[in-house]
Amino acid sequence: MALASGVRFAPRALLRPWALLRGTTLGRTEPAAGGGGDGARRFGSQRVLVEPDAASGVAVMKLRNPPVNALSLELLTELVISLEKLENDKTFRGIILTSDCPRVFCAGLDLTEICGRNPAHCAEYWKAMQELWLRMYLSSLVLVAAINGACPAGGCIIALSCDCRVLADNPKYRIGLNETLLGIIAPFWLKDTYVNTIGHRASEQALQLGSLFPPAEALQVGLVDQVVPEDQVQSTALSEMARWLAVPDHARQLTKNMMRKATADRLLRQRDADTQNFVSFVCRDSIQKSLQAYLEKLRQRKG
């Protein structure tokens, strides 16, 4: 991910993303409904829809992994690949990330990826999660999250990796890191991201309590930058994008790197240890039992 200045952001340490995409439609390009020219062509994969607008240099990236955009291994991989594709295309300067699933931005980790799975699978899954965070957190593009639904845990990680967050004003659309309520612990790099966004004391409280903030509180604590009526989320995200794109790329990119590099480097230095911690933690019998119970609760809640 080389910048114009030659500064590199994240290393290309990605697993084997293509190997995961057998049978998917990544890379397919098709005209958007009602679209005509190049700027209206969309591409993407099964779980990530990309609507590029070449004229503005902005692409809208929609998560579409129904019902709740849980971060499956496939979704993580497809997100990394779509992001990389846009970053390598000099036409694009910004991405608006949003959800194609009603009422949910992203439900966080796909718990079925870590419940009843073997350690090798959990390790592969966690590396994919780390990779997406590193790529997003250090992206040279402007990332604006248009949060049009609930945004717990891993969903909040995705939003926090962006440069700016616009949340729809609906009391059901809560955002935060609720890991402790599931009996799990946010890893240090996620904690760091929280602290970088809302400060130490607010993070200390919110992380321990597993707080999920409704919109007004999320705005107050600084977790999101704007709260707007639901039908204005996209237009506000576009206005925010214009504000960020008004800054010369090289200056903004180098400043972003200066602000975020130390946090990312901390994970890069300890990536293997972090993976091992994750695997040994989630594979414990007690953690498996509480994850299983949580999943059951979610499934029963439905009926």
Ligand X SMILES: CCCCCCCC/C=C\C/C=C/C(=O)SCCNC(=O)CCNC(=O)[C@H](O)C(C)(C)COP(=O)(O)OP(=O)(O)OC[C@H]1O[C@@H](n2cnc3c(N)ncnc32)[C@H](O)[C@@H]1OP(=O)(O)O
Give the binding site for ligand X (CB under 6 A).
67-68, 70, 103-104, 107-112, 150, 152-154, 178-179, 182, 184-187, 277-278, 281, 295, 298-299, 301-302
Q: Which amino acid is at 1?
A: M
Tell me the closest approach of the beta carbon of residue 149 to ligand X, in angstroms. 8
Whether residue 154 lies in the annotated active site: yes
Whether residue 178 lies in the annotated active site: yes
Nearer to ligand X, 235 or 280 (CB): 280
Tell me the closest approach of the beta carbon of residue 139 to ligand X, in angstroms. 20
Whether residue 124 lies in the annotated active site: no
Residue nearest to ligand X (CB): 108
Give me the phi and psi of 245, to 5 degrees please: -80, -10
Contact 109, 154 (CB under 8 A): yes
Q: Which of 78, 113, 131, 179 is catalytic?
A: 179
Secondary structure of 216-234 as H, E, C letters:
HHHHHHCCCCEEECHHHHH
Nearer to ligand X, 68 or 138 (CB): 68
Tell me the closest approach of the beta carbon of residue 112 to ligand X, in angstroms. 5
Task: Name the 3-class secondary structure at 195.
Answer: helix
Q: Which residues contact 19 (CB under 8 A, 6 or more apart)?
A: none
Nearer to ligand X, 90 or 297 (CB): 297
Task: Name the 3-class secondary structure at 14.
Answer: coil
Q: Which of 14, 109, 111, 267 is catalytic?
A: 109
Q: Which amino acid is at 65?
A: N
Distance separating alpha carbons of residues 261 and 137, to the nearest angstrom:
9
Nearer to ligand X, 43 or 189 (CB): 189
Whether residue 109 lies in the annotated active site: yes
Distance separating alpha carbons of residues 274 and 156, to the nearest angstrom:
20
Tell me the closest approach of the beta carbon of residue 279 to ligand X, in angstroms. 9
Active-site positions read: 109, 154, 178-179
